[in-house]
Structure 1
Amino acid sequence: MKILVLGAGVVGTAAAYYLARDGHEVTVVERHPAPAHGTSYSNAGLVSPGDAYSWASPGALAVFLKSLYRRDLGIRVRPSLDPAFLSWTWRFLFQCTEARAHANTDVKLRLALYSRQCINEITAETGIDFDERRRGIVYFYRDQKSLDAGARHFRYLAERGLEIELADRKRLFEVEPGLAHSGDRIAGGIYSPIDQTGDSRMFVTRLAELATARHGVKFLCDTAVEGLDIEAGRVRAVRTAKGPLTADAVVLSMGPESGVFARKVGVDLPVYPVKGYTATIPLEDPALGPTMGGVDEDRYVAYSRLGNRLRMASTAEFNGFDRSFRPDDFTRMFRSARELFPGAIDEKKAECWAGLRPMMPTSVPVIGRSRYDNLYLDTGHGHVGWTMACGSGKFLADVVAGRTPDIDPQGLLPTA
């Protein structure tokens, strides 16, 4: 088949790779000048099944309300009368029961574990390099109360297949000697040895090059998608700023824009943009930096060691499609860096960035055929798009081919 993939982030590029590997003629349409220049340009760098617990949970409502008046939290909500925001919020709150949180977490973990396997298979097949480290990730807490609460979440994940180790401060510093200079700021944490890290932009760039050279994938960049022409329950053409494109099938992987785009053609896709901030900083002394990825759970700050760079990420901000940032948006992460890795970085050398995550109220992406026969969805991956992208791409390729996916599809397929 001739297939158009709309979006050249990590999700769209992974889908294009797997579809082309199946023998389809694939063209990727991207509004930016190159792949991975939107949401996938920068993130925490974590490939983290350990971060599979659903955002929507019984404790989320209290955090959501506090964020309305406190600027020091990692969650920021700027109230809006935007119907899409109000609808998303209502659906999110509906997911905040314990039963729904567990159900969503189960699906999220299933896909995350599978996707990690798929990333490693691609690496083995292609040999592409993206500053990958397979040393695990540490999730740590600054006081015993938060450690106990976090441990309950991780035990739930462990019961469903995630390998973890509960570590006191001494053991945590043995696992991650990079934290040994943080003093008594850390009470303990969780070590997830199967988690890993890598540069998603580097991965996408090199996978796109390989997909082009080995499988004939075409990338139409600097090409904005404007809409779909629907006829007799099928997509007849994709309208772009450079003219219409036709294909046998279309895959929607437009990140945070997916929801707005889908609603224009009557597809109920509650994807809402959630802004995150990142800083990429050269290590002044690599010996003082981390040896693996980590999450400062009490500060909502995540980081990765990417070669001799430190990537830091923080904040989940509900503020529509605003991508702007100010110096004080990075205060929390720089403070954490100074406390955790003293002497490792000079924050004045940081490359700062802000981007939008495509969040579903469930924290679970949607992958599969939409209400239109030849329109497929692969979007809504939220803050773990890098983790889930390759598994999603392989899952989608199986659905398109009519094969039984490798994992249980329950909870991933579109419902309407």
Structure 2
Amino acid sequence: MKVVVLGGGVVGTAAAWYLARDGHAVTLIERHADIACGTSQSNAGLVSPGDSTAWASPVALVTFIKSLYKPDMGIKVRFNLDPHFLAWTWRFLLQCTQARANANTEVKLRLAFYARQCINALQEETGLAYDDKRKGILYFYRSQQSLDAGAKHMGYIAERGLKIEVVDRERLVELEPGLAAVKHQIAGGVYSPMDQTGDSSLFARGLAELARERHGVQFRFKTTVTALDIEGDRVKAVLTDQGPVACDAVVVSLGPESSLLARKIGIDVPVYPVKGYTATIPVDDDKGPTMGGVDEDRLIAYSRLGNRLRIASTAEFAGYDRTHRPADFAAMFRTAHDLFPGAVDESKAVLWAGLRPMMPGSVPVHGRARYANLYLDTGHGHVGWTMACGSGKLTADLIAGRRPEIDTTGLLYRN
């Protein structure tokens, strides 16, 4: 079949790879000049089943209220009267019961486990290099109270298959010598050895090149999707500013723009953009962390990507605004200097802000939507890098009519 994938982030690129490997003639359409220039360009670098807890929960309202008077909180909301934001917020609040939070967390964890298997199998198959480390991730806490709460919180997903170790500060520094200078500021942490790290943009661009070389995937860059040409219950072609592209099937992986296209054809895909910020800083081999980590009290994550330190923070509801100012990174740099003294020269940092495609329940959406040959693979929020390969493989299985390797309960689109 002629399959057109819309979106060249890590999610769309992974879908294109698995579809082409199945023997389909795949064309990927991307509005930027290259792969991974939007949402996938920069993130915390964490491939993390340990970060599978749904955002929507009974404590979500408390976190939101704190964000109103604590400027350094990782959650920020710009109030606006956008009806789509208001509708999304209402749906988010409906997901904030403990029952829904547990159900959504279990679905996310199932997909994250599967996706981790997929990405590692893909690397073994291809030899793809993307500054990855399989050393686990440390989630650490600055007070005993927050450590106890965090360990209980992580215990829920540990009961469902995630291996964890609750560690004191001595064991924490044994695992991560880079934190030795500040160990007395840290009460302890939760070590998740099943988590790993890597550069999503390096991965996506490398995979795109392999997809072109090995499976003939065609890429149309600097091409913006404007609409879909629909006849009856099928999409005939993707309409773009560079002309139509005929298709037998379409996969929508447009990240935060997925809902904008869906609205044009009467499909309700409640994806809303959540803005995040990152800084990428060169570091010497003997400085900084050796593995990924999350300062849970300050909601700041980081990864060691080769000779670079990637720091990420903030979930800001600001519509489709991608701008940033130096002040947006101040708390991030303070924490980096605190944790890794002498390792961070912020004058050399590459600063970035981008949008994560968030669903109200934190669970991405897959499968056929309204039309017989239109498929969704979107809404991964802050864990698109974690879930990309699992979602791509699932999408390829659905289009092929195969029984997926993963239980699809809770993952498929419902009209």
Q: Do these two structures clear the TM 0.5 threshold for a shared fold by scoring above it?
A: yes
Q: What is the percent sequence identity of the aligned residues?
A: 69
Q: Which residue of 1 aligns with 2:154?
A: 154
In structure 1, distance between residues paired with 2:186 and 2:145: 12
Q: Which residue of 2 aligns with 1:39?
A: 39
Q: Superposed, which structure 2 residues align to 1:183-198 within 5 Å?
A: 183-198=183-198
**Unmatched tracts of structure 2, length 5 or more:** none
Q: Which residue of 1 aligns with 2:117?
A: 117
Q: Superposed, which structure 2 residues align to 1:359-370 within 5 Å?
A: 359-370=358-369
The amino acid across from 2:239 in the alignment is R
Q: Which residue of 1 aligns with 2:165?
A: 165
Q: Which residue of 1 aligns with 2:237?
A: 237
Q: What is the Cα deviation at residue 217 of structure 1?
A: 0.4
| Aligned structure 1 segments of 4 or more residues deviating by more than 6 angstroms | none
What is the CA RMSD across the aligned residues, in angstroms? 0.8
In structure 2, distance between residues paired with 1:63 and 1:78: 15
Q: What is the Cα deviation at residue 69 of structure 1?
A: 4.2
Q: Which residue of 2 aligns with 1:346?
A: 345
Q: Which residue of 1 aligns with 2:64?
A: 64
Q: Which residue of 1 aligns with 2:390?
A: 391
Deviation larger for 147-156 or 86-95 = 147-156
Q: What is the Cα deviation at residue 233 of structure 1?
A: 1.6
Secondary structure (helix, strand or coil) at the match of 1:114 reads helix
The amino acid across from 2:318 in the alignment is N
**Unmatched tracts of structure 1, length 5 or more:** none
- Say whether the 8 Å CA contact 2:173–2:183 is kept in structure 1: no
Q: Superposed, which structure 2 residues align to 1:62-211 within 5 Å?
A: 62-211=62-211
Q: What is the Cα deviation at residue 286 of structure 1?
A: 2.5
In structure 1, distance between residues paired with 2:97 and 2:174: 37
Deviation per residue, 1:44-68 (Å, 9 max, x gap): 0000000000000110011123323
Q: What is the Cα deviation at residue 70 of structure 1?
A: 3.5
- Say whether the 8 Å CA contact 1:68–1:79 is kept in structure 2: no
Q: Which residue of 1 aligns with 2:401?
A: 402
- Say whether the 8 Å CA contact 1:68–1:78 is kept in structure 2: no
- Say whether the 8 Å CA contact 1:276–1:356 is kept in structure 2: yes
Secondary structure (helix, strand or coil) at the match of 2:3 reads strand
Q: How many residues align?
A: 415
Q: What is the Cα deviation at residue 332 of structure 1?
A: 1.3
The amino acid across from 1:275 in the alignment is K
Deviation per residue, 1:27-48 (Å, 9 max, x gap): 0000000000000000000000
Q: Which residue of 1 aligns with 2:7?
A: 7
Q: What is the Cα deviation at residue 148 of structure 1?
A: 1.2
Q: Which residue of 2 aligns with 1:413?
A: 412
Deviation larger for 108-117 or 178-187 = 178-187
In structure 2, distance between residues paired with 1:316 and 1:286: 30
Secondary structure (helix, strand or coil) at the match of 1:410 reads coil
Matched, 1:287 2:291: no
The amino acid across from 2:287 in the alignment is L
Q: Superposed, which structure 2 residues align to 1:259-278 within 5 Å?
A: 259-278=259-278
- Say whether the 8 Å CA contact 1:7–1:255 is kept in structure 2: yes
Deviation per residue, 1:120-168 (Å, 9 max, x gap): 0110000010001000000001111111111111100100000100011
Q: Which residue of 2 aligns with 1:313?
A: 312
Secondary structure (helix, strand or coil) at the match of 1:277 reads strand
User: TM-score when scaled to structure 2?
Assistant: 0.99
Deviation per residue, 1:349-392 (Å, 9 max, x gap): 00000000000001000011111111000000000000000000
Q: What is the Cα deviation at residue 345 of structure 1?
A: 1.7
- Say whether the 8 Å CA contact 2:31–2:221 is kept in structure 1: yes
- Say whether the 8 Å CA contact 2:292–2:303 is kept in structure 1: yes
Q: Which residue of 1 aligns with 2:19?
A: 19
In structure 1, distance between residues paired with 2:78 and 2:285: 38
Q: What is the Cα deviation at residue 299 of structure 1?
A: 0.7
Q: Which residue of 2 aligns with 1:217?
A: 217
Matched, 1:299 2:298: yes
